[in-house]
């Protein structure tokens, strides 16, 4: 899961970064509306935008308005002052998916993030299934035929991306975009190593990660 946080309160932003990274998300942060707008125009691999309305250099509502004008359906969670009813209404009218009034509990925000990303993927539950392979996004656990698989945080992230696109080709560049934050150096060779490790743990039944040489990977069911 890849999340962009647009928040100019550094203390709050640090809290959001900590809890969401602990939950296994790759999280990037900007502190102004203009930075948020630029990031959203150049990166199309975000799964969620957490957007403060009172941003400097471009109001959050303008960021949202521009995002929707470009045809993006990216889920947006608005953060706003408790008394700014008018801004909340405008935000929802402009296409926000949910809002939270400050101050709020970080645990509640984490739950809303899970709900919005599930909705963005067209799912009503936290589980993604592909044959006997099941991944619970809320609990960050994977299993095959009901038996838990011991996966590292990076392997879980990789599995999540492949499951979200099961049956479709995923390039190495797309994997890097979805798994890595700005400034994080992950080479194509490293992706190959993660794929190799994941294969050893999940290819024990009718599931495989097929390699399309020079193009990427595809999570498939083995005909049987």
Of 183 and 101, the structure prediction assigns the larger pLDDT to 101
Which of the four pLDDT bands, split at 50, 70 and 90, describes residue 83? low
Nearest one of 24, 22, 19 to 106, comparing CA atoms: 19
CATH architecture of 2-120: 3-Layer(aba) Sandwich (3.40)
Residue 64 pLDDT > 90: yes
Task: Return the pLDDT at 121.
Answer: 56
Evaluate if residue 78 carries a pLDDT over 60: yes
Q: H or E element: which one contains 155?
A: helix 153-164
Query: Structurally, what CATH architecture does the domain formed by 127-221 represent?
Result: Orthogonal Bundle (1.10)
The two tokens of residue 8 are 């100019």
Radius of gyration of the chain, Cα coordinates, nearest whole angstrom: 18
Residue carrying structure tokens 């080479």: 187
Tokens describing residue 34: 């203009």
Stated pTM of the model: 0.75
In sequence order, which residues have a C-beta less than 8 Å from that of residue 74 and are 6 or more positions away? 40, 46, 47, 48, 49, 67, 120
Mean pLDDT of the 58-67 span: 95
Residue 174's pLDDT band (boundaries 50, 70, 90)? Answer: confident
Contact status, residue 217 vs residue 173, Cβ threshold 8 Å: no
Nearest-angstrom CA–CA distance, 36 and 24: 22
Q: What is the mean pLDDT of the chain?
A: 87
pLDDT reported for residue 123: 54
Cβ-count burial 81-95 (b if 16+ within 10 Å, e if not):
eeebeebbebbeebe
- Highest mean pLDDT pick, 114-123, 144-153, 172-181: 144-153
Q: Is the pLDDT of residue 131 over 90?
A: no
Mean pLDDT, rounded, for 31-43: 94
| Residue 53: pLDDT over 60 | yes
In the prediction, which pLDDT does 84 show?
Answer: 74
At residue 211, the pLDDT reads 92
**For the chain, what are the domain ranges?**
2-120, 127-221
């Amino acid at each position: 899961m890849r999340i962009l946080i647009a928040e100019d309160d550094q203390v709050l932003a640090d809290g959001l970064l900590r809890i969401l990274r602990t939950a296994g998300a790759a999280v990037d942060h900007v502190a102004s509306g203009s930075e948020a707008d630029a990031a959203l125009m150049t990166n199309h691999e975000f799964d969620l935008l957490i957007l403060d309305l009172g941003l400097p250099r471009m109001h959050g509502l303008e960021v949202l308005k521009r995002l929707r004008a470009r045809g993006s359906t990216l889920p947006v969670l608005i953060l706003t002052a408790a008394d700014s009813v008018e801004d909340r209404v405008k935000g929802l009218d402009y296409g926000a998916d949910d809002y939270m009034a400050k101050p709020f509990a970080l645990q509640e925000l984490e739950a809303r993030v899970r709900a919005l990303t599930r909705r963005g993927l067209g799912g009503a539950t936290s589980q993604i299934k592909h044959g006997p392979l099941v991944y619970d996004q809320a609990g960050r656990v994977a299993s095959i035929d009901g038996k838990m698989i011991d996966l590292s945080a990076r392997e879980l992230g990789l599995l999540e991306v492949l499951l979200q696109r099961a049956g479709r080709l995923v390039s190495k560049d797309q994997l890097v975009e979805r798994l890595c934050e700005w400034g994080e150096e992950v080479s194509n060779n490293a992706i190959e190593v993660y794929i190799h490790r994941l294969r050893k743990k999940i290819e024990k039944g009718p599931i495989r990660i097929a390699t399309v040489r020079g193009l990427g990977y595809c999570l498939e069911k083995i005909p049987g």
